A and B are shown apart, each in its own frame.
Chain A
Amino acid sequence: MTSRLLLRASLRSLYQQPLQLCMLLAGIMLGIAVVTAMQLSTQSARLSYQYASQQLASGARYQIRSAGGIAASVYARLKRAPEQWPLLPVVEFPVQLPGGEQLQLTGLDFLAEQQLRTAGQRVFSGGGSWNATLLQSAVWLGESTAQQLGLMLGDQLTLTTPVGERSLKLAGTLDDRTQPLLAQRILMDMGQALALSNQPEVLSYLLLPPPQGSAIARWPEVMLQKLRSQLPPDTHLQPLENPQPARLGDALYFNLNAMALLALLLGTLIVLSAVWLSLLQRRPLFAALRLAGVSGRQLYGFLLLETLVLAGLASAAGLALGVVIADQLLPLLVQSQAAFTAPPLARLSLNWGDIIRFGLLGCGSALLAAAWPCWQLARQSPLALQAAPVAALNEVKRPLVLRGAVLVLMPLAIVLVMQSQLLAVYLGTGLLALLAALLTTPLLQGLAAVCVVLIQRSGVGARHPLLLMVPRDCLRQQVYSKGVMWVLMLALSVSLAVTGMTDSFHTAFQGWIGQRLNAQVYTSPPDRDAPGQKAGLSTMLVEQLLTDPQVKAVARRARQPLTLAGLSLFIYGVDFPPAARTAYQFRQGDSETLWQGFQSGSEVLISEPLANHLQLGRGDYLSLPLVSGEQSFKIAGVYYDYGSYQGQVLISYPAFQRHWPEVPLGGIRLYLHNPDQAESFARQPVLKPYEVRLAGPIIRRSEQLFEQTFLITDALQLLLLVVALVAMVSNLLALQLHRQPELQRYRALGLSRAMRAGLLMGQALLLAFSAGLLAWLLGELMAWLLAERVQLLAFGWTVPWQFAPERGLIALLLGLIVALLAALYPAFKEVKS
């Protein structure tokens, strides 16, 4: 009976103030929507990667790849080896539909292995049977693609293949509901696919499934080493969990996950702010209930129940909004993904498990956010509840609590962010955000006090007392507005952190691409990646090019695979003419002096990921396995590199030639006196027999791909700011509603509408300024953590962070604009009242 009456009393209170109810629901809804959108879009995009690497690989753990494909003879030889490697051949190439749409044709050998036949049966649940793949010119299509094209089983399908137009028969459809990646694919028998590929003797890659009958389903390292030894040069065995093209994609997902965690924190803060404000506004009701005999425990239980009911409703709405936002974000995400992989998949993946998970997340975070403020309210005596919240809160010794919290949290956060586990770094970042939130109130108090002193000293206060009212009112209302300050501060700092991280990535990427492609023209042997290609460039060509008046310098390059401490990597023999040296960015080592040691051949350069993996630095010695035995080389420097997780070693070309004389010259970099003439130079007859690449177009294309990668972060940044804006509007509106009697008194005193509106806007600006200042500090700190610590722990490399004052100023300005926009409607309402 009591609970029923309590619920009725509270719900009527909310119903009587629909704006207040809307704001509470909107706060929770926005928080959940942000989290849902971030998690869902990231999760959906990640799923498509998983489908790409796992479903089509039918659980294969390793992949054998070579840049130009795998010769069929290599596959035959490996199958006949004593180990009888259970390899699965795959051929893949793009084909075009009559409408111009491009699909990926995948040829699989369904007779090859039982394992793949089982996988095939699992995939082919859409229609037909897998035996039909053996029929001449029979293909399988994703069910949705078949529907789009209006094709039925047995219909003919015309495709443009590398050998021309071919008419193929639709033998069956694929279940692309549970296997979304198949929606973009055409499957057919291996033999027939090879015939259509125009390279009947070249396979795209080989898959190595987990060993059958193995309890741990993992190939032992000894066996993998044996397999590696049987592979031709330039052919690599790679773990599928870490596909090479997905490196930048992984970094992107990583950033998104970090952002999703911050969004979760932001969402919880929005919920906290909404619940806090709603509790403050209903204090008279709770005071009446407590005086009527409702105990603190009863009130607490009831408030949590109420939060749960409202959070359930708001979570449902937030989930729906989140799905809509994620649906809009996903195309951007896969557009970024398309830079690295085959045709992207733009389908949102949402199931009942997700709905329950996000629902629980919504209710859980709302309960978590509400637990403390509800407890604070419920434990207050009825008399304290009757008093103004400011007076009630002043009773608590806040500065002492604050100092204690800062003293405990600060060292803890520093210790955590310096740990070598990612989780600890994330926790430390969260604690830093909490610290910044705790400092919002003292900062606002300080700023307001400074404003008051400045206004008084300047004498303006006497003529315009309204100016004094702005900071003083801001202080008096801080208990209501601190929630929104937290939200704005965190949204701005996340935005700043992302900008800082993107800037750092941008600088690092430009430096790296400039380092990788520092020459103007690149020459290599024709079909250098073709299977069995052993021939290199001739030294005659180098001499010939050196005599060309247009050429400033020529640099040679060759490479040899190495295994160092279990890491598969390459050592490169390279020439470094002075023109090439300036492009290299070093984490360790003096770029002025290290070249001398490098040129001598006794010192090497190593990339940052390798230095981190092996815990080596400048001046240490690296032991390399040479034909003549192990030999130690002094490390002259550690350079930034984002091209491989394992890292790489650079040695001067003459030294490389001494140690690996059998390795042919793999490429030449040409530095021209006039870089603008690169295109005409590349058409010279002397270069005709070789493969020639120009750096300019590659750099431009790479930069384009890079920009695409960060489209998603820009969109998410905007989303966070919009959420902060809405949260702030709702908070300021609620504040204005709450302050109606006070504003009426001001009106009675003679304050004009414009003055009252100005008061509201001035307060919003002061709040935003305080939040912006803290956001500047926290944002830069988070950017540093993401660029230097998180990247190091996740990928082995760091992205140099650089402080840019304009970034913070822009964030501060953005905060002020958001605050002004947010104050516009409440001010308008006040003017109209």
Chain B
Amino acid sequence: MMNATTASTQQRPLLQAHGLVKTYLAHGVQQSVLSGLDLTLEAGEIVVLQGPSGEGKSTLLNLLAGLDRPDAGEIWLKGEDLAQAAEARLCQLRRQSIGLVFQFFNLVPTLTVTENLQLTLSLCQRVTHQAEIATLLAQVGLTGKAAMFPQQLSGGEQQRVAIVRTLLQQPALILADEPTGNLDRNNAERVMALFVEQVRQRQGTLLLATHDVSLTALADRCLRLENGRLRDD
């Protein structure tokens, strides 16, 4: 596995998280999920995040995406502390700098494939020609599916649309939460190979939370979340 951190020691890290704490109240009892977690992601790095269920992988990704706020700690993305940013600014960052890929694809069910992509493009105010969309869809094997609605596609196809959507957004950081959790093994391998390839082509940064051990082979670095903290795997 290539260590990208050493390659960019002169550069400022893309993302830095310090002392992240997050607790939840469940049935009247405070449960600590993250307890002083630190994380650094360099630009162009592909990192796999592993850990048992319920350890807080999704919680960490939600915090890094600005979807949730930590109880304590800082999250610096391109020199901006997400923990302190206003909701409107977080929304703007999610449009321009953070791409999200979810287990359940999160496509807008009432928009076609093309319209889902157009929505993302219009929100991040990026002008992309129809031809570019068509090329990207062709690259991920979705030729002829542009006018279809998400529910008319298979799970693998939907996830590929979600990946294209994220790639079109050209975010500095892509956060993927169990992107293959809802796919069969064959589909999962094909989709992830494609995804990682496209991220590398664009020199993007990817943090991938997964149970799938086989995906570690695609990563530059592997991290394990245990007892609310990260350790190198």
The 8 Å CB contact of A5, one of B92, B94, B102, B111, is: B111
Question: A47-55, A232-240, A293-301, A738-746: which lies at the B interface?
Answer: A293-301
Is B23 among interface residues, defined by CB-CB distance under 8 A? no
**Interface pair A292/B106, CB less than 8 Å apart:** yes
Given known contacts A291-B100, A291-B102, A296-B91, is B110 in contact with A9 (CB within 8 Å)? yes
Question: Chain B's nearest CB lies how many Å from the CB of A309?
Answer: 16
The 8 Å CB contact of B62, one of A9, A12, A383, is: A383
**Interface pair A285/B94, CB less than 8 Å apart:** no
- Interchain CA distance A8-B109 in the complex, whole Å: 11
Is A16 among interface residues, defined by CB-CB distance under 8 A? yes
Given known contacts A289-B108, A383-B67, is B119 in contact with A5 (CB within 8 Å)? yes
**Interface pair B94/A13, CB less than 8 Å apart:** no
**Interface pair B109/A285, CB less than 8 Å apart:** yes
Q: How many residues of A contact B (CB 8 A)?
A: 26
**Interface pair B118/A291, CB less than 8 Å apart:** no
**Interface pair A296/B87, CB less than 8 Å apart:** yes
CB-CB contacts of B47-82 with A at 8 A, as 1s and 0s? 000000000000000100001100000000000000
**Interface pair B68/A16, CB less than 8 Å apart:** no
**Interface pair A2/B110, CB less than 8 Å apart:** no
Question: Chain A's nearest CB lies how many Å from the CB of B186?
Answer: 27
Contacts of A477 in B (CB 8 A): none
**Interface pair B110/A381, CB less than 8 Å apart:** no
Contacts of A8 in B (CB 8 A): 110-111, 115
Question: Chain A's nearest CB lies how many Å from the CB of B31?
Answer: 16
**Interface pair B91/A285, CB less than 8 Å apart:** no
Contacts of B68 in A (CB 8 A): 381, 383
Is A258 among interface residues, defined by CB-CB distance under 8 A? no
Is B229 among interface residues, defined by CB-CB distance under 8 A? no
Among residues of A, the one whose C-beta sits closest to the C-beta of B93 is A293
Question: Chain B's nearest CB lies how many Å from the CB of A12?
Answer: 4
**Interface pair A293/B120, CB less than 8 Å apart:** yes
Question: Chain A's nearest CB lies how many Å from the CB of B13?
Answer: 24
- Interchain CA distance A318-B197 in the complex, whole Å: 57
**Interface pair A292/B119, CB less than 8 Å apart:** yes
Is A1 among interface residues, defined by CB-CB distance under 8 A? yes
CB-CB contacts of B116-132 with A at 8 A, as 1s and 0s? 10111011100000000
- Interchain CA distance A310-B111 in the complex, whole Å: 20
Contacts of A285 in B (CB 8 A): 108-110
- Interchain CA distance A381-B68 in the complex, whole Å: 8
For residues 328 through 385 of chain A, which have their beta carbon under 8 Å from a beta carbon of chain B?
381-383
Contacts of A224 in B (CB 8 A): none
**Interface pair A5/B122, CB less than 8 Å apart:** yes
Question: Chain A's nearest CB lies how many Å from the CB of B7?
Answer: 31
Given known contacts A12-B110, A285-B110, is B118 in contact with A5 (CB within 8 Å)? yes
- Interchain CA distance A217-B115 in the complex, whole Å: 68
Contacts of A288 in B (CB 8 A): 106-109
**Interface pair B95/A9, CB less than 8 Å apart:** no
**Interface pair A291/B122, CB less than 8 Å apart:** no
CB-CB contacts of A208-220 with B at 8 A, as 1s and 0s? 0000000000000
Is A478 among interface residues, defined by CB-CB distance under 8 A? no
- Interchain CA distance A382-B123 in the complex, whole Å: 16
**Interface pair A293/B62, CB less than 8 Å apart:** no
Question: Chain A's nearest CB lies how many Å from the CB of B14?
Answer: 20
**Interface pair A16/B110, CB less than 8 Å apart:** yes
Is A10 among interface residues, defined by CB-CB distance under 8 A? yes
**Interface pair B106/A291, CB less than 8 Å apart:** yes
For residues 1 through 52 of chain A, which have their beta carbon under 8 Å from a beta carbon of chain B?
1-2, 5-6, 8-13, 16
Most chain A beta-carbon neighbours within 10 Å: one of B68, B106, B110, B115: B110
**Interface pair A293/B94, CB less than 8 Å apart:** yes
Contacts of A381 in B (CB 8 A): 67-68, 87
Contacts of A16 in B (CB 8 A): 110
Contacts of A291 in B (CB 8 A): 67, 100, 102, 106
**Interface pair B67/A292, CB less than 8 Å apart:** no
For residues 275 through 318 of chain A, which have their beta carbon under 8 Å from a beta carbon of chain B?
284-285, 287-289, 291-297
**Interface pair A1/B108, CB less than 8 Å apart:** no
Among residues of A, the one whose C-beta sits closest to the C-beta of B165 is A292
Among residues of B, the one whose C-beta sits closest to the C-beta of A2 is B122
Q: How many pairs, one residue from A and one from B, have CB atoms within 8 Å of each other in the complex?
A: 69
Question: Chain B's nearest CB lies how many Å from the CB of A369?
Answer: 24
Question: Chain A's nearest CB lies how many Å from the CB of B59?
Answer: 10
- Interchain CA distance A292-B165 in the complex, whole Å: 9
**Interface pair B115/A5, CB less than 8 Å apart:** yes
Question: Chain B's nearest CB lies how many Å from the CB of A683?
Answer: 85
**Interface pair A294/B106, CB less than 8 Å apart:** no
Given known contacts A297-B88, A381-B68, A383-B67, is B109 in contact with A13 (CB within 8 Å)? yes
Contacts of B111 in A (CB 8 A): 5, 8-9, 12
CB-CB contacts of A378-416 with B at 8 A, as 1s and 0s? 000111000000000000000000000000000000000
Contacts of B120 in A (CB 8 A): 292-293
Question: Chain A's nearest CB lies how many Å from the CB of B63?
Answer: 11
- Interchain CA distance A533-B119 in the complex, whole Å: 90
- Interchain CA distance A284-B104 in the complex, whole Å: 12
Contacts of B106 in A (CB 8 A): 287-288, 291-292
Among residues of A, the one whose C-beta sits closest to the C-beta of B124 is A293
Among residues of B, the one whose C-beta sits closest to the C-beta of A381 is B67
- Interchain CA distance A802-B157 in the complex, whole Å: 71
Among residues of A, the one whose C-beta sits closest to the C-beta of B68 is A383
Most chain B beta-carbon neighbours within 10 Å: one of A288, A295, A297: A288
Among residues of A, the one whose C-beta sits closest to the C-beta of B100 is A291
Given known contacts A291-B100, A291-B102, A383-B62, is B123 in contact with A13 (CB within 8 Å)? no
- Interchain CA distance A438-B3 in the complex, whole Å: 60
Contacts of B109 in A (CB 8 A): 13, 284-285, 288
Contacts of B87 in A (CB 8 A): 296, 381
- Interchain CA distance A13-B109 in the complex, whole Å: 8
The 8 Å CB contact of B91, one of A2, A284, A295, is: A295
**Interface pair A1/B124, CB less than 8 Å apart:** no
The 8 Å CB contact of A292, one of B62, B88, B123, is: B123
CB-CB contacts of B162-204 with A at 8 A, as 1s and 0s? 0001000000000000000000000000000000000000000
The 8 Å CB contact of A1, one of B62, B67, B118, is: B118
- Interchain CA distance A339-B136 in the complex, whole Å: 80
- Interchain CA distance A284-B110 in the complex, whole Å: 11
Question: Chain B's nearest CB lies how many Å from the CB of A301?
Answer: 14
Among residues of B, the one whose C-beta sits closest to the C-beta of A290 is B91
Query: Apart from A10-B110, A296-B91, A381-B87, what are 9 other A-B pairs with CB-CB below 8 Å?
Result: A6-B119, A8-B115, A9-B108, A9-B111, A11-B110, A291-B102, A292-B120, A296-B87, A383-B62
A binding-site residues for B, Cβ under 8 Å? 1-2, 5-6, 8-13, 16, 284-285, 287-289, 291-297, 381-383
Closest 4 CB pairs of A and B: A12-B110, A1-B122, A293-B123, A293-B95
Can you list 24 contacts pairing A with B, beta carbon distance less than 8 Å?
A: A1-B122, A2-B123, A5-B115, A6-B119, A8-B115, A9-B108, A9-B111, A9-B115, A16-B110, A288-B108, A291-B67, A291-B102, A291-B106, A292-B106, A293-B91, A293-B95, A293-B124, A296-B87, A296-B88, A297-B88, A381-B68, A381-B87, A382-B67, A383-B67
B binding-site residues for A, Cβ under 8 Å? 62, 67-68, 87-88, 91-92, 94-95, 100, 102, 106-111, 115-116, 118-120, 122-124, 165
